[in-house]
Amino acid sequence: MRTELGRVRGLGSAHEGAHHWWHQRLTAGTNFLTLVWLLASLATLPGYDYLTVRLWLSSAWVAVPMLLLVASIFYHFRLGLQVVIEDYARMESRFVAMVLLNVYTAAVAGTAIFAILKIAFGSQA
């Protein structure tokens, strides 16, 4: 059972908003996990030349965490930059900035995911 207060807490007049805050926290946790993985993996790579990096990225054990990292971090910064925009931009400029933020995030996320899959599925350039 939920009390009336518990039901409306954090909702405000727009009847939503708490999920933004909560997803920022959830992705903070998954960012932490995937970034520790990435930094440890990069530090222990035997080299940073083309063949070494490509071989590393073509393993499913690397491609899958890398996809998860992109999903987590890009969603996290999409939420985060929205807060930054809301703090500094008003009216029309806020609207334009929000549209640009969504286009930017979709473009970089799409490119990153395509690149990871292309390497993993092994099609040559």
Partner 1 sequence: MASKPAIPHKRPRSPHAFRGPMQLHYRWGPAMTVSIFHRMLGSGMATVGALLLVWWLAAVAAGDAAYAVFLDVFTTDAGALNPLGWIVGVGLTWSVFQHMASGIRHLVLDTGAAYELKINKLSAVLCFVFSIAMTALFWLYLGVKA
- Work out whether 60 is an interface residue with partner 1 (CB under 8 A): no
Stretch that binds ligand HEM, among 26-34, 37-45, 50-58, 104-112 (CB under 6 A): 26-34
H-only helix segments in the chain: 4-8, 18-44, 50-57, 60-88, 91-120
Stretch that binds partner 1, among 1-9, 10-18, 44-52, 91-99 (CB under 8 A): 44-52
Member of 25, 95, 100, 106 binding partner 1 (CB under 8 A): 25
Q: Would you say 63 and 116 are in contact if contact means Cβ atoms under 8 Å apart? A: yes
Q: Would you say 76 and 27 are in contact if contact means Cβ atoms under 8 Å apart? A: yes
Nearer to partner 1 by Cβ, of 8 and 100: the residue is: 100
- Work out whether 31 is an interface residue with ligand HEM (CB under 6 A): yes
Nearer to ligand HEM by Cβ, of 20 and 54: the residue is: 20
Question: In whole angstroms, how far apart are CA 5 and each of 10, 11, 17?
Answer: 10, 10, 16
